[in-house]
Amino acid sequence: MKYAVLWAPDFALQAVLRPEPELRLQPVALITEQGPRGRVFQATFSALQEGVLAGMAPSQAQARCPRLLFKTRSPAAEDCAKAAMLECALGVSPWVEDTAPGVCSLRWEPGFGADPARLLEALAKRSLKGCLGLAPNPDLAWLAAQAAALGNGPVFCREIRESRELHPCPLKLLTPPTHLSEVLDQWGVRTIGDFVALGREALLERLGPEISPVFERAVGRVERPLRQVTTPERYEEHLDLEHAIETLEPLLFLIRRCLGQLVLRLGSAWLVAGEIHLRLGFASGGFYQRIFSVPSPTGDEDVLFGMLHTHLENFRAEHPVTALGLSAVPSRAPRQQFALFESALRDPHQFFETLARLQALLGEDRVGRPELEPTRRPDCFRMRPVSAAPAEYCPPAEALPGALGLSLRRFRPLVAARVQCSPQPVFVESAEVNGPVLAVQGPVVLSGDWWDRAAWSHREWDVELMDGVLCRLREEPGGWFVEGIYD
């Protein structure tokens, strides 16, 4: 059996630089927190060459490298990067362990498609640089991964079959306790080979039992099972901004990068986005959250970005944006069987993008599908969101004999009228109909919502005028109205 360890050096720094990979070639230092208590935690290679070291105060680091750029450590960004690493590992093996931040161990099964180049390439697509170590047990594979990072060539994978292949490597790979490391350094022990040559018994006699686990790792005798993890169900990208954003263009630039990572991670699991959740944090401490329902679940980055762009074009914030969060609800690609005479929209996303633009211009409550409310109140309806799924087929109901009658052509809004009564209506005067009344039917009293402040009530009359016009009159507390004409 063979094991592999996937390691991302300077993991916290890489997690923060994922949305801005071009900064990796520049001097950048990751500090633990803002303020006087902040210290340099990790730094890029360019910064290390300028003399920037871990543990320095930002002012000390800035004195050594005036063009140094500072980034603050972000736990949320590290969680997103860890999820991306686990997805890469689970793509080649179902037996994966979340060993440490930036380190995951897995059982290596070459016969099932595990390939080092493919794994490292998948990690690079997620804007993470990693090293891979292969060995007979997990701890030896972890040493092999660290040894692969010491190489000067472009290959970041190393496979070892025996522990003595690591003897030329520096002793610091074993991470012995600090006080023991100082003693070994005074003895002149610099490599793993020098350490193993001293022998276990001699080391125990001089350094005590605390050195035993270090020696066991050096000779590759540690055998342990993997603590397996499951496939992460959260597909989220988070970005804490060092400088607040006040305009739309830079915000859209960062959203596009985060969205590209989400689509890549979903595609590796053969999933698409069913919903997109956008969260913006403001300098005032508040936040804005919006859920975008994808009409037809898709993994097309351009389509998803178009939905976000259309909404943000008409979005106005009172404070600058300091944090960006983007997450996707995974879904399976839609498969639908239509009836003989049914068909799907040619491009449902373009149709719903047009609806989104109309909602931004007119308001969300003014665009949709009208639906009657369960009440007798006239003209009472609500707007329902439009769905891309076809409506269920309902066969037309057969009309009963004599059920057909005149249709009422309603006026919207109602037409104000002056009506003479004695005590029923005898004369109508309005902008639409005028004349004496020949026949009257009514009144019909309607009311509802008596338990609410929006209670309503009115009386309706159906009348025939002298010129043969049939119309409906409405009497309300505010006056008379012509509701419509019968055709």
**What's the confidence (pLDDT) of residue 155?**
58
The pLDDT value given to residue 401: 52
Find the mean pLDDT for residues 457-486.
91
266 domain-assigned: yes
* pLDDT confidence band for 109 (50 / 70 / 90): confident
**Model confidence pLDDT, tens digit, residues 252-309:** 999 999 999 999 888 888 888 888 999 999 998 889 998 888 877 888 888 889 888 8
Name the one residue in this structure whose structure tokens are 């074993």.
174
At residue 459, the 3 state secondary structure works out as strand
Report pLDDT for 56.
Answer: 93
Name all contacts of 348-351 with Cβ < 8 Å and 24+ positions apart: 348/295, 348/296, 348/388, 349/295, 349/296, 349/298, 349/300, 349/303, 349/306, 351/295
More confident residue, 358 or 125: 125
* Residue 365 lies inside a defined structural domain of this protein: no
Whether residue 9 is found in the same domain as residue 107: yes
Each residue's pLDDT tens digit, 75-88: 999 999 998 899 88
pLDDT, tens only, 361-417: 787 778 888 888 887 777 788 888 776 555 555 555 555 454 556 888 989 889 999
Same domain? 129 vs 243: no
In a domain? residue 113: yes
Whether the bond between 116 and the residue before it is cis, its omega within 30 degrees of 0, is no
pLDDT of residue 394: 55
Least confident of 404-408, 410-414, 421-425, 434-438: 404-408
What pLDDT, on a 0 to 100 scale, did the predictor assign at position 118?
86
Model confidence at 477, pLDDT cuts 50, 70, 90, reads confident
Share of the chain above pLDDT 90, in %: 37
Whether residue 273 sits in one domain with residue 135:
no
**Pair 112, 250 in one domain:** no
Query: Angle at which helices 75-90 and 116-125 pack, to 10 degrees?
Result: 150
The per-residue pLDDT for range 32-59, each reduced to its tens digit, is 988 888 899 999 999 999 999 999 999 9
pLDDT value at residue 102: 92
Residue count of the chain? 487
Q: Specify if 371 maps to a domain.
A: no
Residue 111, pLDDT > 80, answer: no
Residue with tokens 């939905």: 307
pLDDT beyond 60 at 169: yes
CA distance 102 to 6: 8
- Reading the block at residue 38, the tokens are 């902040």
Distance CA 172, CA 29 (A): 23
Number of domains in the chain: 3
The order of strands in the sheet holding 287-298 is 235-245, 321-331, 272-282, 287-298
- Give the pLDDT score at 110: 73
Residues 131 and 40 in one domain: yes
Residue from 236, 5, 214 nearest 106 by CA:
5
How far apart are alpha carbons 88 and 117 in whole angstroms? Answer: 12
C-alpha separations of 319 from 144, 197, 284, 316 in Å? 49, 64, 7, 9
Domain presence at residue 367: no
Instruction: Compute the distance between CA of residue 113 and CA of residue 105 in angstroms, rounded to an integer.
Output: 17
Structure tokens at 206: 């001089």
Among 275, 296, 331, the domain boundary falls at 331
Kindly state the percentage of the chain with pLDDT values over 70. Answer: 90
Sign of CA dihedral 171, 175, 180, 185: positive
Q: Rounded distance, CA 332 to CA 273, Å? A: 8
How far apart CA 46 and CA 64 sit, in angstroms, is 12
Residues 78 and 101 sit within 8 Å (Cβ to Cβ): yes
pLDDT band for 325, please (50, 70, 90 cuts): very high
446 and 313 in a common domain:
no
pLDDT at residue 338 in the model: 61
| Distance (Å, whole) CA 146 – CA 218 | 13
User: What value does the mean pLDDT take over residues 64-73?
Assistant: 93
Residues 215-243: pLDDT tens digits? 998 988 888 888 888 766 778 998 888 88
In a domain, residue 380? The reply is no
User: For the whole prediction, is pTM greater than 0.85?
Assistant: no
Together in a domain, 244 and 141: no
Please answer whether residues 325 and 238 qualify as being in contact, where contact means their C-beta atoms are separated by less than 8 angstroms: yes
Contact yes or no for 152/161 (Cβ under 8 A): no
If asked whether residues 155 and 7 sit together in one domain, one would say yes
pLDDT above 60 (res 153): no
Give domain status of residue 466, yes or no.
yes
* Dihedral sign, Cα of residue 394, residue 396, residue 401, residue 406: positive
Instruction: Identify whether residues 129 and 27 lie together within a single domain.
Output: yes
pLDDT tens, residue by residue, 326-355 = 999 888 876 666 666 655 556 666 777 777
Instruction: Say whether both 134 and 267 belong to one domain.
Output: no
Note whether residue 127 is domain-resident. yes
Of the residues 305, 331, 357, the one at which a domain ends: 331
Measure the CA–CA gap between 102 and 84, rounded to whole angstroms: 10
Could you tell me the residue range of the domain that residue 99 belongs to? Answer: 2-161
Residues 51, 54, 59, 65, Cα dihedral to 10°: 20
The verdict on 314 and 458 lying in the same domain is no
Query: Is 47 in the same domain as 132?
Result: yes
Closest residue by Cα to residue 463 from 453, 454, 452, 473: 473
Q: Which of 145, 161, 177 is the last residue of a domain?
A: 161
Q: Report the CATH number that the domain containing residue 286 is assigned in CATH.
A: 3.30.1490.100
For residue 428, the model assigns a pLDDT of: 94
